[in-house]
Structure 1
């Protein structure tokens, strides 16, 4: 038992430190900004609205608990080695914000630098890795194409021999990738936002939106209706359902995305290792667990159940890379909700409604975008203009046939 926890157990009631997050207050009749979704993105947006733009009348609503949706159902990887210039610039800013996030929030989000390697098993994937490396370097993101020998030096336990069923021909090496503690990110933003006057209302289902003219004037909840000057949608899984309340039809297909962790073992893997051809990835947490995931399920479904089919398929591919893990046991398995767009890029910013903003379509990479989403969505709401960094991800790009085309860097998302 940690010594701090033992000391806390023997404290008198008068010595108990004050709770960092205040109790849920009563809903007010009106807020300047109502944010639907108390995950990482919604909380980060609220924090930046309060801190940077001095907007203090903010309510964050969630049907569940703080950070209990996709924020708690991901594998906590941070990277910027994408394919398109728009995607690379966006995730580069997010990764830079992650580097100093613990200091920014005065809350340890356990951000850790980790080498990130995307393996190439075919000549075609090798060409794609070279393409990504050049785009990354052009935009100031550290990435390079490395050969099999260098892959083996970085991960000596990886099966790189020619006798492998899927030989490794090289990899895209991204030495400045990392991982962070997902619940710590959500709690860090929540605590600091609450200190700035933001109200966080958990267990507050949004049941509808009142639209007058071309504006959302009220958000209806099971605890009553609240008026709003502006409204932000930052939910996952329920994205299409909430958007329909606003009369929006989104180019989104929602599918489960499963992952799992093993029992803790001694340190054996140094990097985040991804195989786009095998649709799997693996890294080792500070606690020794092997964090593993694969492709999204092939059918739309609004459920976070786990399946044996996923686990069997994933383990077959993981053992192609690390055959010696055959006797390691899986300890936990879960699923999140992946909102997939046709071009594998998010939908962000302004909508056809004058005061309704959206942060959606994150598919398999929403966690790593948390800091930049909070910063730029807050800018969008406060200025009522689409920030330049978010311009490629506009809501209407599909009707304009101006898609981003990030599927080539999603690796396990297709």
Structure 2
């Protein structure tokens, strides 16, 4: 044990400023109440305080800090989407990610690895070219490469024709990255709290108070709070919380499973995704192989994992990376993904005045944390839909002006 750590543990006083100063009691009134203490909710609170000077903010969560999907994802960050709306949105997010460790004064272990979306069919290659062109026009680095180039950049992958789904090529996205998910939540939480924001865990919201079409407060298991504005950022519980506010969401909640192997020495520096096979893999800083697949085919409010997922995932993984036959699965889990009909999120204004929504993330959520926090804070302050968020407004389902991202978001990560 390091001597400095032992000295710190035995000391009677600790002059260092603690990361988290928990508020013991709820106040009766806040300017903004954020429902959900995951990455998005904490980021919204932070940007409200840091960029707009609104510090009388309360973040509520029925569980614990970042105990939902923030801790149940596989931490991939990218901007190589299919639609111009999606690419613009994620380009801004990647730009924010690159300076986030310094901004929040915490090591998020942000690591750019290069993101490969494998193509196994001619149709997949055509989609890769389409995505590459959209990306390039909007200033995002992406290019289509052949199987030999995939092998050169990622020597551990198997590109043999002697498999069921040979690799024909890939969409290569050099800025693709990973980061430590819990550090993101901790960083936003500590910096928001430092600016006066309150975070209350184990505080469930039982009712949204509506008066004359306007949200005015929430009833919790610890009492009633009045609020000038309310925003929900609750991932898998989006439909249930919106129903409390009096409106329905076009969302289907389904499990999204993942797993990690036992840790090994660094062998895979890249992020490998196959939209056709519905699998993806990267290696964490601890040496674990982080793997996942598509969402389950049925709606379910559950974070249980299944043998069926693991078996189907491994069949494809062993074709792509035969060396993994020697590895053991260390742990397996699931998150709850909110899927909209067009595979794109819902952000901004709602039919209820002073009530805002951050939902429908499906497989987009983690990588959107900084841009969503910044733009949702802007939306709340100005009470209007920011230009970047206009394509993702809830009203698009009434006008049928959808954002079709299924082609770039069909794999859960």
- TM-score under structure 2 normalisation? 0.98
Q: How does 1:37-76 map to 2 (within 5 A)?
A: 37-76=36-75
> Any conservation in 1 of the 2:61–2:200 contact (CA below 8 Å)?
yes
Partner of 2:267: 268
SS at match of 2:342: coil
> Any conservation in 1 of the 2:292–2:412 contact (CA below 8 Å)?
no
Partner of 2:173: 174
1:133 aligned to 2:109? Answer: no
Partner of 1:366: 365
SS at match of 2:309: helix
Q: Deviation of residue 320 (structure 1)?
A: 1.3
Inter-partner Cα distance in structure 2 for 1:3 and 1:394 = 54
Inter-partner Cα distance in structure 2 for 1:8 and 1:297 = 47
Q: Deviations over 1:223-270 (max 9, x none)?
A: 000000000010011110000001110000000001000001111111
Partner of 1:386: 385
Q: How does 1:87-236 map to 2 (within 5 A)?
A: 87-236=86-235
> Any conservation in 2 of the 1:22–1:194 contact (CA below 8 Å)?
yes
1:242 aligned to 2:241? Answer: yes
Q: How does 1:315-330 map to 2 (within 5 A)?
A: 315-330=314-329
Inter-partner Cα distance in structure 1 for 2:45 and 2:93 = 17
CA shift in 2, pair 1:318/1:7, >3 Å:
farther
Inter-partner Cα distance in structure 2 for 1:266 and 1:273 = 18
5+ residue gaps, structure 2: none
Partner of 1:398: 397
Inter-partner Cα distance in structure 2 for 1:266 and 1:85 = 39
1:8 aligned to 2:28? Answer: no
Q: Deviations over 1:285-313 (max 9, x none)?
A: 11110000001111111111111111111
Inter-partner Cα distance in structure 1 for 2:16 and 2:261 = 35
SS at match of 1:66: coil
Q: Deviation of residue 13 (structure 1)?
A: 1.6
1:293 aligned to 2:266? Answer: no
Inter-partner Cα distance in structure 2 for 1:275 and 1:20 = 39
Q: Deviation of residue 156 (structure 1)?
A: 1.0
Q: Deviations over 1:372-405 (max 9, x none)?
A: 0000000000011100000000011111111000
Inter-partner Cα distance in structure 2 for 1:226 and 1:210 = 9
Inter-partner Cα distance in structure 1 for 2:83 and 2:8 = 50
> Any conservation in 2 of the 1:275–1:411 contact (CA below 8 Å)?
no
Inter-partner Cα distance in structure 1 for 2:52 and 2:391 = 24
CA shift in 2, pair 1:74/1:413, >3 Å:
closer
Partner of 2:302: 303
Q: Deviations over 1:139-180 (max 9, x none)?
A: 000000001110000111111011121110000000011011
Partner of 2:347: 348
Q: Which moved more, 1:187-196 or 1:317-326?
A: 317-326
> Any conservation in 1 of the 2:22–2:198 contact (CA below 8 Å)?
no
1:375 aligned to 2:353? Answer: no
Inter-partner Cα distance in structure 2 for 1:2 and 1:290 = 29
Q: Which moved more, 1:159-168 or 1:248-257?
A: 159-168
- TM-score under structure 1 normalisation? 0.98
Inter-partner Cα distance in structure 1 for 2:50 and 2:355 = 21
Q: Deviation of residue 15 (structure 1)?
A: 3.6
Inter-partner Cα distance in structure 2 for 1:278 and 1:3 = 50
CA shift in 2, pair 1:372/1:2, >3 Å:
farther
Inter-partner Cα distance in structure 2 for 1:411 and 1:179 = 19
CA-based RMSD: 1.2
CA shift in 2, pair 1:65/1:125, >3 Å:
same
Q: Deviation of residue 102 (structure 1)?
A: 0.6
Q: Deviation of residue 2 (structure 1)?
A: 5.6
Where has structure 1 moved over 4 Å in runs of 4 or more?
A: 1-4
5+ residue gaps, structure 1: none
Q: Deviation of residue 353 (structure 1)?
A: 1.1
